[in-house]
Amino acid sequence: MGIAETIRGRSSGIRSRRGVDARSRLPQADVCLIVEGCYPFVPGGVSAWIDWLFRSEPDATFSVVTLWPKRGPLQPRYQLPANVVGLDLLYLQDFGAAPARHRSAGTQVQRLGDALVDFLEQGSIERFHSVTEQLKAVRSTAPLERLFNSPLAWEVIRHMYERMMPHGSFLHFFWAWRALLGGLFATVEFALPRASLYHTISTGYAGLLAARAGLETGRPVVLTEHGIYTNERRIEILMADWVADTVDKGHNLADARFDIRDMWMRAFEAYARACYGGCARITTLYDDNQRAQRFLGADPARLQVIANGIDVSRFAEVTPAGQGDRPTMALIGRVVPIKDVKTYITTASLLRERVPELRAWVLGPLDEDPGYVGECRALVDELGLAGCVEFAGAVNVVDYLSQIHVVVLSSLSESQPLVVLEAGAAGLPFVATNVGSCREILEGRPDEHPPLGAGGLVTNVVAPAEIADAVAVLLADATMRARFGQSLKARVKRYYTSEQAAAAYGKLYRDLIGNSGRAQSPSAAGGEA
Amino acid sequence: MAGIGFELRKLSGHDSIFQTLASFGHAAVVAAGPWLFTILSLAAITVLTEPIAGLAQLATFRVTVIYAFAVSLVAAAPVTIVATRLAANALWQKRAQDIPTLLIGALVLAALLAGGAALLLALSLQPPIQVAMALVACSVIVALIWVALCFAGTIRDYVGVTMSFILGLLCSVCAAIVAVLYGQQATSMVWGFNLGLAITFFSMAWRVIATFPHAVGSPLAAVGIILAGIRSYWQLAAGALLGTAGVWADKWIFWLSENGETTETGLLHAPLYDSAMFIASLVLIPSLAAFVVRLETDFFDRYQQYYATISSHGTLGQIEAARSRLARFTIENFTFITIAQVGYCAILVLTAPLIVEALNLQFRQTSILRFGGLGAVFHFIFIACSSMVLFFDRRVIYMLLQGLFLLANAGLTLYSLQAGEDYYGVGYFLACVLCGFVAYRAADVTFQRLNFLTFIGNNPSVTEAARRKVRRWPGR
């Protein structure tokens, strides 16, 4: 029986078990993992990491809360391990039920509206706490879901609009309000599963739910950010053509009037600030991410880097290609725009002028963005690179590594790419763009002692000539390749093994949960334990 | 990356706020039109043929036609109002090709319902077979007219509607007169009248079909679409049924009371009450006409301006100003028309004895005529405010208003019957007063809360949103 059937079978008996009373009968997990839009329905990436975490901590029990936009057919892509005792779905955009016939006092509207405006504009765990307290007060009259569609909500929207952007499009404000605060209300209304510790894998709504868990239960909260969620949202919102710019500021940079884009971005920043403020520990994959976390108010004393690790034994048998083999570089990854495969192809074109025998492999799935794959193939034809650039599709990378001289990563954005670690475990030198933690992995952190030396070369993004120069140097110098390969291998073994990552999370959990399992969140501002 | 799995883009895809623009508030007014047409044509035929046909024949003819109109208006009302709504939706969604299919579906269903109801009525009253056949035929044709009329209203073809009715009316009157001259039987007159009605129907249906020259699906599938629409808009269907029944409730009660008389052919009627009330109802015509004209021009402009202010990203201040303009304008015009209506009513009340004398009515009908005229003032308010409520798609309120009118008209008419002859017509008058005020309040509240209703209370994408669901999957 597959996972889907298993889950359906399980769900049939428990649909009515909603709310706190029902939850109290369910087993309490050691860790409640809160994730947004991934596990167990989206394969790869963070979901794969979560699956790894469950299997790396077999003695701990987990429950999972998955935040998802709205109802629809969902196909789980992972078998829940035995130590996962529960899985909840929280729908963010399905919020709102038949309106309550609630007519509120003006002061109530003003208090709630002011609390929400203060929170959205400045964001902090204290302001979030104030919002939850105000919501608790209005919830005493009717469920939030019914109030969300009531005249009370309308009055709150009006009040907030007048305070935040009385000059802007009300239509956009209204939908932004519904979307942003519907999600917020949904996280406030959600019946929390019981756990000794709450671990969120991003800020955003998952971070808000975790912050609320900390406030209400006094249990410790941990955040692990792979990429910086707020940055990702900011890019998405800045590039969004569906967000209308409704305030004409002309060329006046000093015009501080709020527009819809500002509202969206500020809201996600506010959510992040609340999450950072509510967390006992904030971990990320590499140092550079901490700058953004500190910028949004994360307490430096709570920051910690826990790098992802890999199983190095898989690559122990790989012998790097020799000088007599056909000169080969490889890009290992999905053929999608963010990997900037076109720059890689242009690099191959430049490099072939110096290395006529060059082979440039692209090892990775071709099915995610067929349009982009078509453009890449057209570029190969246009540059006359047939026979040089080869798209191998999804393959077992280990089978190819011993024929590769240099591995290349031309990505526009990464966090901590596993492909660098895997190439390093195989003793291959690397050329990577300066994104995510590539420089940290290839050149070592400043506090590395003793220094292990460079494991590859770092270039700018969208710089084919620069990448071609770096690869040419490595192809021409077997000694340098060997030295880089060994350095990288040593660094991966020292810092980036699966065992080390698992041990770090195990220690983190033990430190925070302690023996009693009732450790206190440093910023627990109230609520029942 | 840890991902926000939800697509921000989709959040902007809300245009359902403007669904109510696919409005059909005129349906409430249009529905009153045929009822007035009935009275006009009957009055014309009565006056013109009385010297030849004789009172008994005329009574049978008149009662048969009144039965057909009552049956078809009530039985077909749910179909016509829902079909009108579906047609307005189709036009709003720029799916003009759906209109002929909707028309055919509505025609078939309305004809079946009206024909069936008339047949049941005939079976229970058991008039002569010729009368029963004429009654069923007349009911079916009238039901077809209601449907065609509503579709013509949807495309704002008021000139076409008027011309079709005038043509039909002339033909009806002529054919009825010819039937009287040659056949001298009530049923012949009804068939002559049916001929005129059929001409009205074909004229209107032709204009609608000529406007939308698209292919039509199978009639069965078309009926299925209308039935599905009735399920979706059941409040409209129920409201229309209750509302049309409400219009006839006082007459039916009088027919069944001690004032009821039986024609030669066994059909019940109450000439004492009916003729006075029908004449009183005529004073509604100028007000309803003025109201429709205002609806179609100035009101609709401001109505569209209000939604345009929202969709063109106006500020809340601008939206509020547009709402305020719409509300003020509507109230002002409404007041103006109502004052005029009061004037018509005053004339009717003051000249009631003269009218009674001129039309050969009985003296004791004077007070019924006066109460009918007074009631018509508030009846206009009720119809106009119901129309406003429909314009803003407050379907449940519309249904409740119509239900209230039925209950009030039936209940108060029963009460006035018991109170004695001096109070005949008071029931209708009080029901109109009560329902007029309630409907006015409903329309006023709708205008006051229009912003809330537009964005939240009546916004389909908000109101139909599913509840947040949490499923729990316990582990092993």
Tens-digit pLDDT profile for residues B2-60:
333 333 333 334 444 454 444 444 554 555 566 666 677 777 777 777 777 777 778 88
Residue B264 exposed, middle or buried by CB count within 10 Å (0-12, 13-18, 19+)? middle
**Between B26 and B372, residue with greater pLDDT:** B372
Q: Taking CA atoms, what residue in B is nearest to A71?
A: B469
Contact B431, B409 (CB under 8 A): yes
Q: List CB contacts (< 8 A) between B3 and chain A.
A: 36-38, 42, 45-46, 202
H/E run at residue B261: strand B261-262
Cβ contact, residue pair A90, B470, below 8 Å? yes
Task: Give pairs for A159-164: CB < 8 Å, separation 24+.
Answer: A159/A109, A159/A110, A159/A113, A159/A114, A160/A113, A160/A116, A160/A117, A160/A120, A161/B316, A162/B316, A163/A113, A163/A114, A163/A117, A164/A117, A164/A120, A164/A121, A164/A258, A164/A263
Which has the closest alpha carbon to A362: A341, A340, A338? A341
Q: What's the mean pLDDT in B462-473?
A: 45
Dist CA B63 CA B445 (whole Å): 41
Task: Among A150, A178, A246, select the one facing B313 at the smallest CB separation.
Answer: A246
Q: What's the mean pLDDT in B342-359?
A: 89
Residue whose structure tokens are 């007063």: B433
Task: Among B3, B12, B319, select the one facing A175 at the smallest CB separation.
Answer: B12
Residues of chain B with pLDDT > 90, as a percent, come to 36
Cβ contact, residue pair B470, A91, below 8 Å? yes
pLDDT beyond 70 at B184: no
Task: Among A14, A91, A157, select the one facing B468 at the smallest CB separation.
Answer: A91
The pLDDT score that the predictor gives to residue A203 is 94
Residue A345 exposed, middle or buried by CB count within 10 Å (0-12, 13-18, 19+)? buried
Tell me the three state secondary structure of residue A417.
coil
Q: List CB contacts (< 8 A) between A100 and chain B.
A: none
- Choose, out of A15, A38, A39, A170, the residue to mutate when testing the contact with B (most B CBs < 10 Å): A170
Residue A394 burial (CB count, 10 A):
11
**Between B14 and B140, residue with greater pLDDT:** B140
Residue count of chain A: 529
Q: What's the mean pLDDT in B233-246?
A: 93
Say how many Å lie between the first and final Cα of chain A, rounded.
Answer: 40
Q: What are phi and psi for residue A405, nearest 5 degrees?
A: -90, -40
Q: List CB contacts (< 8 A) between B462 and chain A.
A: 96, 149, 178
Highest averaged pLDDT of the listed ranges A200-209, B194-203, B448-457: A200-209
Cβ contact, residue pair B4, A37, below 8 Å? yes
Q: What are phi and psi for residue B153, nearest 5 degrees?
A: -65, -40
**Between A42 and B369, residue with greater pLDDT:** B369
Residue whose structure tokens are 């090892």: A363
Dist CA B254 CA B274 (whole Å): 8
The structure tokens listed for B153 are 């209203």
Report the interhelical angle of B234-256 vs B395-419 (nearest 10°). 10
Q: List CB contacts (< 8 A) between B11 and chain A.
A: 93, 175-176, 178-179, 242
Cβ contact, residue pair B468, A80, below 8 Å? no
Which has the closest alpha carbon to B62: B138, B146, B144, B141? B138
- Secondary structure letter of residue B214 according to DSSP: -
Cα torsion through A395, A401, A405, A409, rounded to 10: 50
Dist CA A381 CA A389 (whole Å): 10
- Choose the weakest-confidence range: A95-104, B216-225, B255-264: A95-104
Strand order from edge to edge, sheet including A406-409: A389-393, A359-363, A328-332, A406-409, A430-433, A456-459
Strand ranges inside A167-247, DSSP E: 195-200, 221-225
Task: Among A88, A94, A186, select the one facing B466 at the smallest CB separation.
Answer: A94
Q: List CB contacts (< 8 A) between A243 and chain B.
A: 12
The pLDDT score that the predictor gives to residue B474 is 34
Model confidence at B128, pLDDT cuts 50, 70, 90, reads confident
Cβ contact, residue pair B474, A26, below 8 Å? yes
- Choose, out of A50, A66, A79, A174, the residue to mutate when testing the contact with B (most B CBs < 10 Å): A174
Contact A26, A193 (CB under 8 A): yes
Q: Which domains does chain A have, with CATH numbers?
A: 313-496 (3.40.50.2000)
Peptide bond preceding A40 in cis form (omega within 30 of 0): yes
Q: List CB contacts (< 8 A) between B323 and chain A.
A: none
Contact A196, A516 (CB under 8 A): no
pLDDT beyond 70 at B365: yes
Task: Give pairs for B271-276: CB < 8 Å, separation 24+.
Answer: B271/B59, B272/B362, B272/B364, B272/B365, B272/B368, B272/B424, B273/B368, B273/B424, B273/B425, B274/B66, B275/B359, B275/B361, B275/B365, B276/B361, B276/B365, B276/B368, B276/B369, B276/B372, B276/B425
Dist CA B276 CA B353 (whole Å): 12
Q: What is the mean pLDDT of each run of 10 residues along chain A (529 residues)?
A: 29 31 59 91 82 92 91 85 91 77 71 92 93 89 83 90 89 88 91 94 95 94 92 79 66 65 89 96 92 93 93 89 91 90 97 95 90 96 95 92 96 89 95 94 91 95 96 95 95 94 94 60 38
Dist CA A425 CA A111 (whole Å): 58
Q: Which residues lie across from A464 on neighbouring strands?
A: none
Residues of chain B with pLDDT > 70, as a percent, come to 88
- Secondary structure letter of residue A108 according to DSSP: H
Contact B306, B326 (CB under 8 A): yes
Task: Among A149, A190, A237, select the one facing B463 at the smallest CB separation.
Answer: A149
Contact B212, B99 (CB under 8 A): yes
For residue B238, the distance in angstroms to the closest alpha carbon of chain A comes to 22
Contact A47, A40 (CB under 8 A): yes
Residue whose structure tokens are 């049956």: B71
Which has the closest alpha carbon to A292: A311, A278, A274, A272? A272
Question: B211 touching A, CB under 8 A?
Answer: no
The pLDDT score that the predictor gives to residue A6 is 28
The pLDDT score that the predictor gives to residue B17 is 46
CA angle (B175, B179, B184) in 5-degree steps: 155
The pLDDT score that the predictor gives to residue A2 is 29
CA distances from A396 to A373, A493, B399 (A): 20, 22, 67
Longest dimension (CA), chain A: 83
Which has the closest alpha carbon to B451: B334, B314, B330, B332? B314
ipTM for this model:
0.76
- Secondary structure letter of residue B298 according to DSSP: I
Amino acid at A396: N
Q: pTM of the entire structure?
A: 0.77
Q: List CB contacts (< 8 A) between B474 and chain A.
A: 10, 14, 26, 85-86
Contact A137, A131 (CB under 8 A): no
Q: Which residues lie across from B38 on neighbouring strands?
A: none
Dist CA B426 CA B273 (whole Å): 11
Q: List CB contacts (< 8 A) between A271 and chain B.
A: none
Cβ contact, residue pair B451, A178, below 8 Å? no
The pLDDT score that the predictor gives to residue B45 is 78
H/E run at residue A362: strand A359-363
Alpha helices, DSSP H, located in B359-394 = 366-391
A219 CB contacts (<8 Å, ≥6 apart)? Answer: A195, A196, A197, A198, A213, A518, A519, A521
Q: List CB contacts (< 8 A) between B7 and chain A.
A: 69
Dist CA A493 CA A487 (whole Å): 10
Dist CA A32 CA A17 (whole Å): 18
User: What totals of helices (H) and strands (E) does chain B contain, helices first?
Assistant: 17, 3
Cβ contact, residue pair B1, A227, below 8 Å? yes
Report the interhelical angle of B271-281 vs B234-256 (nearest 10°). 130
Residue range B394-443, pLDDT digits in tens:
889 999 999 999 999 999 999 999 988 889 999 999 999 999 999 999 99
Tell me the three state secondary structure of residue A2.
coil
Contact A391, A362 (CB under 8 A): yes
Q: Given the DSSP bridges, would you call strands A389-393 and A328-332 parallel, antiparallel or unpaired?
A: unpaired
For residue B237, the distance in angstroms to the closest alpha carbon of chain A comes to 22
Dist CA A231 CA A202 (whole Å): 12
pLDDT beyond 60 at B100: yes
Task: Among A37, A166, A233, select the one facing B316 at the smallest CB separation.
Answer: A166
CA angle (B147, B150, B156) in 5-degree steps: 145
Q: What are phi and psi for residue B285, nearest 5 degrees?
A: -60, -55
